[in-house]
Amino acid sequence: MKKEWLVFFVCFLFIQGLLFSQKMPSIELGAKDYPDFSRVFLESSNPLSLSIEKSNSYIMVRVRADHPFLINKQAFQSSRVKSVEWGRGSDYYIFTIKLDNKDFVHQHSISQDSSVVLIDIRPLSMDYENNNDIPNNTPPDSNISTSISREQELKTIVIDPGHGGLETGAEGRFGTNEKTITLEIALKLKKIIERNLPYRVQLTREEDVDVSLDRRAAIANNYKALVFISIHANGSYRKMAHGSETFFMSLNATDEEIRKLAYMENNSTELDSIKGDNADDIKLILWDMAQSSYIRQSSILAEKIQTKLNSLSGTLNRGVKQAPFKVLTGVACPAVLVETAFISNPEEEKKLTTNEFQNSIARAIYLGLAEFLE
């Protein structure tokens, strides 16, 4: 009798240990090089409270930690980032990021829920070589270097998870809400893009909240987005309807007014510099060129994304289409809307709730986008 109890007790402890380690907060670390900068990322299962400091050739990141973290370091793909070590204090961790030299500037960005931190490191010497405005005999000035790095700030890609808050979007037979799916896919997509491409991703919402269609476009314009991708799950009156499709804008006179305004605002400095009698005509021509360019670019992006969806998601190819989606009007950059699959189709609804399918969608969109941005 006693032996059995012992075995049972040991198993019990083991299972507890497993469960405990699952629930333990974790941080994932990684580093990757890009042509102009290097990026270190810290990704946590919990919101992070931290401070960052440079000290010679080290960057010290101090993270508040009331409980131990499970630290998971990924293989580094960087020649500038030599190593990352960490130590634990009473209620904090210190991560020591060692760079190959001390001549660099750093800037960091934190996701809205504070769980992802990106630290971008730029070598100082490269800034001088590229900037012709600084005379050679001027001593290094820390003010100049920070303003240079601001100009070289990363471009933004805006991802728009459809619906949200009171607007649930389409609902499937099993009670799945479109708004939940779009956010889950968008978060996965953001991760893949930020890990693999030298851009920042801004979501139009990171939680289950209402965001007006106008505001979504405004976010894209405020961030001077390179590209706008809206993510949806489809619904049809036909229960059997299934498959994936990608849309881009179809224009008409009304849309032109809205997009023209956005274009004028986004490019005000360049446009204001155009003077003379023909200034207005020239501005209109530039606008027309930008317009047809946006549409053309949007159709190319849509094609690339749909192609990847066809090969990766396993869904029926419903093709690339044009339709007057309100959310796409007023965005002054190439913009597409991806209808990932039909939530009104019970089979596809179930697929949409799985990580596997969501990941394949996110990956497909990322690959199409990456090809577009090459």
Interface residue list for another protein (CB under 8 A): 163, 167, 169-171, 178, 213, 232, 234-241, 247, 252, 254-255, 318, 323-327, 329, 337, 339, 342-344
Question: For another protein, which is the closer residue by CB, 191 or 318?
Answer: 318
Question: For another protein, which is the closer residue by CB, 103 or 171?
Answer: 171
Question: For another protein, which is the closer residue by CB, 54 or 350?
Answer: 350
Q: Residue 120 phi/psi, 5° resolution?
A: -105, 130
Least distance to another protein, CB of residue 148, Å = 42
Least distance to another protein, CB of residue 136, Å = 56
Question: For another protein, which is the closer residue by CB, 44 or 230?
Answer: 230
Least distance to another protein, CB of residue 275, Å = 35
Distance between CA atoms of 337 and 323, rounded to whole angstroms? 10
The encoded tokens of residue 286 equal 């530039």
Question: For another protein, which is the closer residue by CB, 170 or 185?
Answer: 170
Q: Residue 31 phi/psi, 5° resolution?
A: -145, 145
> If you write DSSP's letter for every residue of 113-170 in order, what string do you get?
TS-EEEEEEEEHHHHHHH-TTS-TTSPP-HHHHHHHHHHTPPPEEEEEE--BTTB---
Least distance to another protein, CB of residue 120, Å = 37
Q: Residue 289 phi/psi, 5° resolution?
A: -65, -40
Which of 63, 115, 60 minimizes the C-alpha distance to 89?
A: 63
The encoded tokens of residue 357 equal 């399918």
Question: For another protein, which is the closer residue by CB, 28 or 171?
Answer: 171
Q: Residue 200 phi/psi, 5° resolution?
A: -100, 145
Least distance to another protein, CB of residue 244, Å = 12
**Contact by Cβ (8 Å): 183, 112:** no
Least distance to another protein, CB of residue 254, Å = 5
